[in-house]
Structure 1
Amino acid sequence: MLLTVLVAISTIVTILLLLLPSPQLAADQQCSVQVVVLGDLGRSPRMQYHTLSIATHGGRVQLIGYRETDPLPELLSHPNVRLRPLSPPPRWLQTSNKILFLLCGPLKVLLQTWTLWTTLSYSSDPCKWMLVQNPPSIPTLLVVSTVCFFRRTRLIVDWHNFGYSILALKLGSDHPLVGISRFYETTLAKAANANFTVTDAMAQVLKSDYKITAPIMTLHDRPADLYQPLTDSKRIAFLQRYPLIQKHFGDILDTKVRLLVSSTSWTPDEDFDLLLDALCSYSTSATSSHPQLPELVIVITGKGPQRQHYLGKIRELRSAKALEMVSIYTDWLSFENYALLLGSADLGVSLHTSSSGVDLPMKVVDMFGAGLPVVGWSKFAAWPELVTENVNGKGFGSSEELADILRELFDPSSQQLARLKAGATRESQRRWNSEWDSVAGKLLGLVK
């Protein structure tokens, strides 16, 4: 029944597209690019970095996506950048319930298809290149490949992950829709003229499993210049004016309290139960067998569907006095203040589990940019491409491993945290601009 509905929707969409007049053809300009994100522009840092790099090198860019959160200020004021906001689908179509998802999903796809098609074909100017983020692959790849065919635009897919693997988190890997999604993604991926991937491991999968013959180039995430290690005076100034942790200010400076940061989109691919279990274990140790351990303050930043669920769990743990030595806060910060928070913290935490095993969390890249050492879930193939174990970070595979790492790093007699901090500061010297210039800049003809 569900497959019949999807086929019917696909047929309707195809008819609608064919009834529309042909899109305007792309002019053969030196470098004009549509950068497309079927998501919130403000929470798509890599695509914003692409846009800024193209514009800075003299290219004209149209940045297309949902404007739920403001992009970087530099983009809003740059003369070579034009924002083309997409109309988001109604909020009632957003659901984490599996049954409701199967009912609302087809309608959401239909609305997204229409909005993306009309915006790319009629509301935006034709360009020589189109750079699109994947995932989401449905309906993005179908729409952009069709538009690029009609407009004679060259398509670049920027692979952050695989759409079918994220769908499998919601429905299960054996669900028929996951198989359909995989077939759809592997088939339409071949329409691209070129591909960027965030890891070498992902590039290998595209070659071996997706059978892509177009050029595939690894473009590792690197931090933008916004993320920098802070001087002591800048760190103190930020902590002093950051209202969320005001009561801990003096103790943080005296290292009686340690400040941790974790950034999340509150989605199923980040298991916050693991972090909470580790913090409960740490708190128990700090109040019994390891009294020398400092109190921890953790700021969790981000927006997403599971936020309220975990806030409820945190309240329950506090009521049960399971977090006596841990204070947890949640926040949503501007880019500038988020960068300052990273530069002011003692340790970053990543719970990204990688649905495909070959993507990487950009939050870790930003943490390294600020000279912040990282502990993260490491049980996936691409982890070593990002973190050098015991040099700039440490990996864990269970809540108890994470608790052990926290006890080890924050023991006042240990020097490990200082060594990781030095390694992260060295890592901060690797920047987005140099990585982008040698890969994307050359492909687009903006860098010789």
Structure 2
Amino acid sequence: MKHHLVRLYTSPPPAIQAGTMFGEDFSRTFEFVLFGFVLLSTLFTIFLLTLPTPYSPYQDNSGQAATENDKENDGEAKDGEKKTRFRAGRSVQVVVLGDIGRSPRMQYHAISLAKHGARVYLVGYRESEVHPDIVSNPRIKIVELTPAPSWCHSSSKLLFPILAPLKALWQARSLYRALSYRTAPVRWMLVQNPPSIPTLAIASTVCFFRNAELIIDWHNFGYSILALKLGARHPLVKVAALYENLFSRFATNHFTVTDAMARVLKKQYGVTALTLHDRPAELFRPINSQERADFLARLPKTAQYAPNLTPSSQEPWKLIVSSTSWTPDEDFSILLEALCAYSAQATSKPQLPKIIAIITGKGPLKEYYLAKVRELNQQKKLVNVIIQTAWLTPEDYALLLAAADLGVSLHTSSSGVDLPMKVVDMFGAGLPVVGWSRFEAWPELVKEDVNGKGFGSSDKLWQLLVNLFEDRDGLIQTLKEGAVKESRYRWNDEWDRVGGNLFKLIYV
């Protein structure tokens, strides 16, 4: 009995025991909630403290206070006066998630902006030579991105769904840091599209935090290029199309390279875009016969053939030029097949001149096609054609176009509404063009039988080469005159009319 009494009083009643357990559970829960609250509060504080500095209309792009005159002129005249836009808040990020040196249009944007007094941060990879006017301009600062590791690059369709997201994450981190912390606050961010992933998402986010206006410069549609690799029905292509559609709506304004692309954006995306046609920079211009002879004699790729490239030669040759990025949307096999057929024709028709073809550019399929060229030479299918490849400085590339007899464009357009910049440069140098014409926007650039000719197959191309170089009806001279006339339309004029007014850097 005594032992039972001891046991009874030493053990707490069930109600007290349950209350104690509830108190301990409540204490642990409270501690957990408190810890979570402190953690979230700390993370939120860190987030706020590390946010990029937003743009202020009362400071210029260097962070210095704007003058009273700048503040007064930031707007439009009122009280019945004619409205006049003034330059203010002149700071712009020009963004290309690619090699700056191989993005001529974005370089031209930067040069034009700087010319009109803007402070420009040109963001991208610096893998090849940049336009000399950018390097020498104190108003333009190049902000280099860190390239993704080599293992992220693969042409395998099987590895693409794995490596592509990893590459995109790397690019997103590098781009976010560059746009948020490696440049001063800007009023505008001008972004090249494509690539759209992750560019548009990062650009939209940074513009939100930094109080900047996002402007997208549409060169093409990113999903259409991805479809060349994976197929139009691939799930990733459909996701990319939805992504591009969604983030296009976060931009304040849009540029397109063609009227056709502007119509597609309006119809499918519901956004209004301004057409800013590509035009050649001042670097591209026609040259006289003496300049041509001097250049061909000093260029290593043409020096040994220079005597045959003059009209006074007893057996004059023809020089054709094609610039390519060696990618799937430019099928170089079309030109190879056409040159083989032309070589066979020149064997049976001695009056046809030999051709030296110089192919410029860099890209993933270059080695593949160079191997094909070597094979064709071994098979003696290019007896009357010499194919050279080159990577030239911007100045020498402009002179090469001006010295050539004919330009060839292999751009097939993944979307049907973009245009090859290379043709614009050819016209700037007064060079007539033959190009792949089976897409909607082609007539916006080339006028048939006036400054160029279109083709839709390798057969049509070699027939064009034969007809032009036989020159029975003087068509090559007519096209030359048309190209020289086209060379008068310049980038500065087009940009001032469209871009200058949008950025409020031109008085209107």
Q: Which category describes the TM-score, using the shorter chain as reference length?
A: over 0.9
1:251 maps to 308
How big is the shift at 1:387? 0.2
Structure 1 residue 27 and structure 2 residue 59: aligned? no
Preserved contact between residue 297 and residue 328 of structure 1 (Cα < 8 Å): yes
Contact 2:54-2:211 at 8 Å conserved across structures: yes
Secondary structure of the 1:184 match is helix
2:225 aligns with 166
Q: Does structure 2 retain, via aligned residues, the 8 Å contact 1:360–1:382?
A: yes
The counterpart of 2:279, out of the listed 222, 239, 249, is: 222
| Letter matched to residue 158 of structure 1 | D
Distance 1:326 1:94 in 2: 35
The equivalent position to 1:82 in structure 2, one of 118, 137, 141, is 141
Q: CA deviation at 1:97?
A: 2.0
The 5 A counterparts of 1:63-142 are 63-142=122-201
Question: Structure 2: 5+ residue runs without aligned partners?
Answer: 1-43, 61-87
Number of corresponding residues: 430
Residue of structure 2 equivalent to 1:308: 367
1:265 to 325, 336, 360: 325
The DSSP-based 3-state class of the residue aligned with 1:42 is: helix
Equivalent runs, 1:328-343 vs 2, <5 Å: 328-343=387-402
Shift of 1:269: 0.2
* Among 271, 283, 293, the residue aligned to 2:343: 283
CA distance in 1, matches of 2:155, 2:303: 35
Runs of 4+ off more than 4 Å = 17-20
Structure 2 SS opposite 1:300: strand
Contact kept? 2:101, 2:127, Cα under 8 Å: yes
Q: CA deviation at 1:99?
A: 1.6
- 2:156 & 2:180 partners in 1: Cα distance? 34
Cα distance change of structure 1 residues 181 and 18 upon mapping to structure 2, 3 Å threshold: farther
* Residue correspondence of structure 1 range 286-297 to structure 2 within 5 A: 286-288=346-348, 290-297=349-356
Which residue, out of 255, 273, 279, partners 1:196?
255
Cα separation, 2, equivalents of 1:427 and 1:297: 25
After TM superposition, give the deviation of residue 216 of structure 1 in Å.
1.2
Q: What displacement does 1:81 show?
A: 0.7
Letter in structure 1 aligned against 2:297 = Q
- Report the TM-score when normalising by structure 2: 0.83
Identify the match of residue 233 of structure 1 among 287, 290, 304: 290
* In 2, Cα distance between equivalents of 1:234 and 1:91: 42
Greater radius of gyration (CA): 2
In the alignment, which residue of structure 2 is the partner of 1:12? none
2: CA distance, partners of 1:187 / 1:362: 27
Q: Counterpart of 1:264 in structure 2: which amino acid?
A: T
One-letter code aligned to 1:278: A
Give the root-mean-square deviation of aligned CA atoms: 1.3
Could you tell me which amino acid in structure 2 is paired with residue 216 of structure 1? A
SS of equivalent to 1:209: helix
1:119 offset after TM fit, Å? 0.9
Deviation track 1:251-305 (CA, whole Å, cap 9, x = no partner) reads: 11036210000001100000011111111111111102x2211000000000000
Q: Distance in 2 between matches of 1:308 and 1:208?
A: 40
| Residues 194 and 216, structure 1, Cα contact 8 Å, conserved in 2 | yes
Cα separation, 1, equivalents of 2:416 and 2:296: 36
| Correspondence 1:242 to 2:283 | no
After superposition, the Cα gap between the structure-2 partners of 1:127 and 1:103, relative to the gap in structure 1 and judged at 3 Å, is same
Pair 64,234 (structure 1): closer, same or farther in 2 beyond 3 Å: same
Partner of 1:403: 462
Structure 1 window deviating more from structure 2 (137-146 vs 87-96): it is 87-96
What are the Cα deviations for residues 286-340 of structure 1, in whole angstroms up to 9, with x where unaligned? 102x221100000000000000000000011000011111000001000000000
Task: Supply the distance in 2 between the matched residues of 1:67 and 1:379 (Cα, whole angstroms).
Answer: 33
How far 1:92 sits from its partner (Å)? 2.5
Contact 1:378 1:397 in 2 (8 A): yes
Unaligned runs of 5+ in 1: 1-14
SS in 1 for 2:201: helix
Distance 1:20 1:47, change over 3 A: farther
Relative to structure 1, is the Cα distance of residues 62 and 291 closer, same or farther in structure 2, using a 3 angstrom cutoff? same
- CA contact under 8 A between 1:346 and 1:373: conserved in structure 2? yes
- State the shift of 1:100 in Å: 2.4
> 1:48 corresponds to which residue?
107
Q: Which amino acid aligns with 2:305?
A: H
Aligned residue type for 2:319: L
* Candidates 316, 320, 324, aligned match of 2:379: 320
Structure 1: distance between partners of 2:249 and 2:347: 57
Letter of the 1:111 counterpart? W
Deviation at 1:133, TM superposition (A): 0.2
Letter in 1 for 2:444: E
C-alpha separation between the residues in 2 aligned to 1:76 and 1:339? 18
Match of 1:7 in 2: none
Matched position secondary structure for 1:156: strand
Q: Pick closer, same or farther for the CA change 1:183–1:348 going to 2, 3 Å.
A: same
Deviation of residue 413 (structure 1)? 3.4
Q: Supply the AA of the counterpart residue of 2:169.
A: L
SS, match of residue 366 in structure 1: helix
User: Amino acid of the residue matched to residue 214 of structure 2?
Assistant: L
Distance 1:414 1:292, change over 3 A: farther
Equivalent-residue separation in structure 2 for 1:168 and 1:94 (angstroms): 18
Is the 8 Å Cα contact of residues 297 and 304 (structure 2) preserved in structure 1? no
Q: Kindly state the Cα deviation for residue 412 of structure 1 after the two structures are TM-superposed.
A: 4.6
Q: Offset at 1:91?
A: 2.2
Matched position secondary structure for 1:433 = helix
Q: Quick one: which amino acid aligns to residue 233 of structure 1?
A: Q
